[in-house]
Amino acid sequence: MDRKSRTAEDGWWGPGVAPHAEEDVSLRPFEVRTSEEELEDLYSRMDRTRPVPSVEDSRFHYGFNSQHLQEVVSYWRRDFDWRRQVHGLNRYPHFRTRIEGIDVHYVHVKPRRVAEGAPALPIILVHGWPGSFYEFYRLIPLLTEPENPEEPVFEVVCPSIPGYGFSEAPHKRGFDSVCAANIFQKLMKRLGFQKFFAHGGDWGWQITTNMAQLDPGSVRGLHLSFAPPSKPGLLVALSLMFGRLFPTLFGFTEADRRLLYPCTEKLLLESMKESGYLHIQATKPDTAGRALNDSPVGLAAYILEKFSTWTNQNFRDLEDGGLTRKFSLDDLLTNVMIYWTSGCITSSMRFYKENFGKGLDQPHSRIPVNVPTGFACFPNDVMHSPKLWVKQKYRNLIRYTPMPRGGHFAAMEEPQLMAEDIQEFTKTVEKMIKL
């Protein structure tokens, strides 16, 4: 694509000035690799870490407990087998392709068997921070190879957000969720998908929502596991003020009341406790990012603390943060290693600066989403979104599922529940289309 044919949505995120020559649109196989030098450098840095004693009986209330961190680091140094994890990462096909001047990494998994007359449904799964494409590794086989032959079969595309994992970081300022959405729209069309389903949580929620706003004709259905009000209005404010006393007036369930009230504690105190990272990353990401990029132990503490408190806020009361109650250390450290080996922590943090730096009242925050939407409401997520709130943005909400358990990293924590909800949602959409 030459510069004269660019649309308003196009950007150039590569170094320097956009070339006049057409962009290379080839799809290049990619393989996750590791080297002996890479591991030796990691071990050397881990061996030279300087532990800091935790305050007595602090558990995870001050952040990642230092004593437990030493136990995690010991396992990472002596027992964690990164080469084995690399082999596991490569069990699915990886690719990179150049879009708007940067290399975009993605995993593309096609089903091995598809029933005659029932083609696989394309779906893009988009992660958030501090996650990665690896969040979906236990979900992918449930979608591509379902045990029940009556369930829909999917062809899965799982990209890394530019600046995350093995996707190249933007070289220019301003790369926000709308820019990421535009790139992922181009990716799906480059792969031959004119219409597809999309799922997202955390930043993936905003990116897939923007995809549905940019080109609603291409998004067959939008499935989310996180949907905070992007522009809270009068109805949201009134529901917070009076929903406890008059729940039926706002369609609040008993679960809504339990998760929302008392307002002061749930919405103000809890947000203060858990949003410090956001203020740092939305203002000066490069300062903290430089330190984390130099220290694997610091990086692990910064990332894994979120997999504790965002999975269940009550895990702050546990000495080990409850990390292995929902995840294995191997899976958690694999996600950390994706950040470490790609050196992407600073560029991933910049995504907050680019989005929040433009203010909260962006044009896309005022645009409703009209494509069929499903929402999986996991009770331990960092923010609860009642059905009333979700419908303010997503006007064609056809499925709202209160989940029995699960937190912010739902696809990684509860892949079976997530798969079942995506399957039921897509079946509903497909029936609507056939009517």
Q: DSSP labels for 337-354? A: HHHHHHT-HHHHHHHHHH
> Residue 254 domain-assigned?
no
* pTM of the shown model: 0.92
d(CA 339, CA 343): 6
Tokens, residue 265:
């504690």
Write down the catalytic residue from 103, 176, 202, 421: 202
Under a CB-based contact definition with an 8 Å cutoff, are residues 206 and 213 in contact?
A: no
Helix H or strand E encompassing 423: helix 415-434
> Residue 7 domain-assigned?
yes
- What pLDDT is stored for residue 306 in this prediction? 97
For residue 150, give the nearest of 427, 372, 414, 416 by alpha carbon.
427
- What pLDDT is stored for residue 433 in this prediction? 84
For residue 379, give the nearest of 240, 248, 225 by alpha carbon.
225
> Residue 149 domain-assigned?
yes
Q: Which domain holds residue 370?
A: 1-16+28-231+275-435
DSSP 27-42: -EEE-----HHHHHHH
Question: In the beta sheet, which residues pair with residue 219?
Answer: 196
- What pLDDT is stored for residue 36 in this prediction? 96
- What pLDDT is stored for residue 246 in this prediction? 63
> Residue 238 domain-assigned?
no
- What pLDDT is stored for residue 1 in this prediction? 33
pLDDT tens by residue, the chain, 435 residues: 333 333 336 899 999 999 888 889 999 999 999 999 999 999 999 999 999 999 999 999 999 999 999 999 999 999 999 999 999 999 999 999 999 999 999 999 999 988 777 889 999 999 999 999 999 999 999 999 999 988 999 999 999 999 999 999 999 999 999 999 999 999 999 999 999 999 999 999 999 999 999 999 999 999 999 999 866 666 666 666 656 666 777 777 888 777 777 664 556 667 778 889 999 999 999 999 999 999 999 999 999 999 999 999 999 999 999 999 999 999 999 999 999 999 999 999 999 999 998 765 677 777 899 999 999 999 999 989 999 999 999 999 999 999 999 999 999 999 999 999 999 999 999 999 877
> Residue 146 domain-assigned?
yes
Dihedral over alpha carbons 398, 403, 409, 415 (to 10 degrees): -90
Query: What total of structural domains would you count in the chain?
Result: 1
φ/ψ of 413, rounded to 5, equals: -80, -45
d(CA 284, CA 168): 21
For residue 296, give the nearest of 328, 343, 330, 249 by alpha carbon.
343
Structure-token match 């170094």, residue found: 15
CATH number for the domain harbouring residue 431: 3.40.50.1820
> Residue 58 domain-assigned?
yes
> Residue 268 domain-assigned?
no
**Any idea what DSSP says for residue 407?**
B
Under a CB-based contact definition with an 8 Å cutoff, are residues 60 and 315 in contact?
A: yes
| Phi-psi category of residue 30: left, alpha or beta, with phi > 0 → left and psi -120 to 50 → alpha | beta
Write down the catalytic residue from 105, 127, 223, 408: 408
Question: In the beta sheet, which residues pair with residue 155?
Answer: 122
Structure-token match 């008392």, residue found: 262
Write down the catalytic residue from 352, 381, 384, 400: 352
Q: Is 400 a catalytic residue?
A: no
> Residue 266 domain-assigned?
no
**Any idea what DSSP says for residue 249?**
G
Measured between alpha carbons, how far is residue 302 from residues 108, 366, 414 in Å? 29, 33, 23
Q: Is 164 a catalytic residue?
A: no
Classify residue 214 by burial, with Cβ atoms within 10 Å: 0-12, 13-18, 19+: middle
d(CA 119, CA 115): 7
